[in-house]
Structure 1
Amino acid sequence: MGTQAPRAADTTTSAAGFAGLPGAVAVSHLQVYDWEAADGVRGGTPHLHLTCAEGYVVTAGRGAVQTLAPVGFDVTPLAPGALVWFTPGTIHRLVNEDGLRIVVLMQNNGLPEAGDAVLTLPPEYLTDPETYARAVRIPDAAEASEAGQAAVARRRRDLAVEGFTVLRTAWEAGDTRPLLDFQRAAAALVRPRVARWRERWEAGAAEAARQTGVQLDRLDAGDASHLAEARLHTRLPAAHGRFGMCGRLDTYEVPGTAAPAAG
């Protein structure tokens, strides 16, 4: 059995390169909610990301992901082995038909679970960051029991489904204005966080790309010295069963990531 690398080597970057997950992605395990919504669909909370792509690798169960974007509404089946991903601005809603479990891949060191998400709440909850924050916050374990946290997460999901239904119905009737209004409101809500997101990107994805450039330059010059600093990194989940946007999350702490928001 191998030994873990010394903690001193577990920094964001070194001569050997970026020490976060490959490409500065982040990963979590997701057990999708099986709560039934008002439309009879069981699943997660519809939302979009402003700057991050996200991908799903289905590991168990069956379901679907509903997506809404300016190009239209779609439903993509999910079964074990399926790989799907979507770009920023795609509203997505996970549907759990039978024990759906997913490995979630997140761009920019997991920024989607650390703030880069806006739920499709009705417009009255999107007026300003404080109003929105109150509507989406899930109390921590010191403030509420697990059942209490679940109840808040479910109410939040139901509000988002209500808003999503309005957006979808309008789009299907040929009215794109509600979707565009939601996009503008989402951009306004996250604007105060952009400077912090930029710092995270600089230390994560941008730094990983720069380190690859350094390594290519060295190899082009016949210099393989960075290989002497090769390291193994390993992690077990740092948190189990967090109430996320789409289900219960097992999350990891890796270099370059911050503690996930109650998303």
Structure 2
Amino acid sequence: MSPVSGGRAEGHGSDPSAEAVTVAGGHRAPSGSPPFPGAIAVSHLRVYPSVAADGLPGGTPHLHTVCSEAYAVIGGSGRVLTVDRHGLRTTALTAGSFVWFTPGTVHRLVNDSGDLEILVLMQNAGLPEAGDMVITFPDDVLADPDRYAAAATLPASSLITGGDDAPVRARRDLAVEGYAELAEGGSAALARLHHRAAALVRGHVGGWRRTWTEGPWAAAEATGVQLAAMARGDHAHLADAATFALPPPPDDRRHGCCGTLGVAVWR
């Protein structure tokens, strides 16, 4: 979203019929489209049905450092295993369930039915894509930025479905190994993970601030401008009313931590 100018959010008058640009695993909204409500990121997630090294089918445990995340379950059943200041927790997931968690919460999706599908709503659109995700590898890997990057990065041949998924599974299994250490280590292990995570992402924070300022913060400021205008009887921004839409994601989906993703990108 562009900065607010003259009481209106610039770009709201773009042509909603303009063709969206395809991105890996999804679509990008036409240039000038407004952000999704609240400047959140939205992904359609099919949780991995394959079985990890510890026998549980599902995704790769990880955390975010500055973004809250929400699940709106649309099909299938399973669980999300979380680790936070209250310790270990298991939350059941069925169609219609809503679950959300704050930064620092370790989360791992388990696909009990084999067909668990979720709409993932992520705070601060753009930040997770820019690196606000730390995978729960064993502590010796987390302590070494080069080893962490090598373990976390998928090769180009494994970025979308249809490619080789062996690196995706290997990344998950290494993360599950670290998750087991975390589960056994209690609050001290979680504190150590938070320390490692903060060190790993510190170099990205300057870029994140720019993304946040131009996106989520600008969207919130737009509301403030509109409220001030309405208070003085100025409703000019309503003339920019428009509808926007994106098609369903393509068949080739992006490999994420928790499953295959159909992503919608507005920036």
For this structure pair, what is the TM-score category when the shorter chain's length is used for normalisation? Answer: 0.7 to 0.9
- Report deviation, 1:72: 1.1
Alpha-carbon distance in structure 1 between the residues aligned to 2:101 and 2:210: 23
Is the partner of 2:168 in helix, strand or coil? helix
1:243 equivalent to 2:255? Answer: yes
**Equivalent in the alignment of 2:137:** 121
- Residues 41-66 of structure 1 show CA distances to partners (whole Å, capped at 9, x for unaligned) of 11100000000000001111000000
CA distance 1:143–1:179, change in 2 (3 Å): closer
80, 83, 87: which one aligns with 1:65 = 80
CA distance 1:145–1:56, change in 2 (3 Å): closer
Alpha-carbon distance in structure 2 between the residues aligned to 1:105 and 1:60: 16
Superposition RMSD in Å: 2.2
Correspondences of 1:1-263 after superposition (within 5 Å): 4-5=16-17, 10-11=31-32, 19-98=34-113, 99-141=115-157, 146-148=162-164, 150-171=165-186, 176-237=187-248, 240-255=252-267
Higher helix share: 1
- Report deviation, 1:145: 8.7
- Report deviation, 1:5: 4.5
Q: Structure 1: any 5+ residue segments left out of the alignment?
A: 13-18, 256-263
4+ residue stretches of structure 1 with deviation over 6 A? 142-145
Q: Structure 2: any 5+ residue segments left out of the alignment?
A: 1-14, 20-29
Alpha-carbon distance in structure 2 between the residues aligned to 1:50 and 1:127: 17
- Report deviation, 1:163: 0.4
Contact 1:237-1:252 within 8 A present in 2 as well: no
Is the partner of 1:20 in helix, strand or coil? coil
* Letter matched to residue 190 of structure 1: V
Contact 1:24-1:108 within 8 A present in 2 as well: yes
- Residues 126-157 of structure 1 show CA distances to partners (whole Å, capped at 9, x for unaligned) of 12433211111111239999452x10010000
* Letter matched to residue 222 of structure 2: Q
Give me the TM-score of the superposition, normalised by structure 2.
Answer: 0.85
Contact 1:49-1:118 within 8 A present in 2 as well: yes
Alpha-carbon distance in structure 1 between the residues aligned to 2:158 and 2:54: 33
* Letter matched to residue 59 of structure 2: G
Contact 1:38-1:158 within 8 A present in 2 as well: yes
Q: How many residues align?
A: 242
Is the partner of 2:121 in helix, strand or coil? strand
- Report deviation, 1:112: 2.4
Alpha-carbon distance in structure 2 between the residues aligned to 1:67 and 1:178: 14
Contact 2:47-2:59 within 8 A present in 1 as well: yes
Contact 1:46-1:119 within 8 A present in 2 as well: yes
Q: Percent identity?
A: 46
Give me the TM-score of the superposition, normalised by structure 1.
Answer: 0.86
- Report deviation, 1:254: 1.0
